Every structure is written in C-alpha cells, then in structure tokens.
Amino acid sequence: MSRWIYRLVPTRPGMLAAPTPEEEMAMAEHADYLDALTAAGILLLAGRSEHGGAPGITIFEAPDEASARAVSQTDPAVSAGVMSAELYPYAVDVPGGD
C-alpha cells in the first residue's frame, strides 16, 4: 500500500471565512467523507492550517495512483467544486511519536 497526499485549496477566495449555504453543505459532506475514510482504515491524517485561506491536506493509503486519484476526486468538497485537489505520492522520512 502506498501513501498519498492531496492538497486542498478553496476555489473561491473567502470561502472559509464566509461560506455560502452550498459551500457549507459540501464542507459538511467533506467532513463525513473523511470520517468514512478513517473508518475504512484509509485516512492517516487530515487537517488545515489555521492561517486564513491556507491549504488543507489529507494523507491516506491507496494501492496505486488511479485509486488515490479516485479518493481525492470523490471528496465531496472537490466534486462540488468548492475545493481543488492536487495529488502527490507521499513518503514519511522521519516518523514522529504519539
């Protein structure tokens, strides 16, 4: 199993500070999606910088690039066009402790 990261960036400036009802719905579905990935044992880490408008990241496991791309593109925030996603292979060089 390979590790992957997708970087999420709002497609509309100011979305995080003042989301529309549609954006709020997509972001709620995004949170549910991440919970489902966690329950399935796929998601390793997700979060975002608290600096306004800064990107979020999702680190997860997938067997290949096609599967990883499917994970990133089926994220409801991405499929709704609220966030754009950039996918990259990811390797941990220095593991941290708990």
Predicted local confidence at residue 74, as pLDDT = 97
Predicted local confidence at residue 98, as pLDDT = 59
More confident residue, 31 or 55: 31
Question: pTM score > 0.75 for this model?
Answer: yes
pLDDT band at 53 (very low <50, low <70, confident <90, very high): low
Under CATH, what is the fold of the domain 2-89? Alpha-Beta Plaits (3.30.70)
Which residues touch 8 (CB under 8 Å, ≥6 apart)?
A: 48, 55, 56, 57, 58, 75, 77, 78, 83, 84, 85
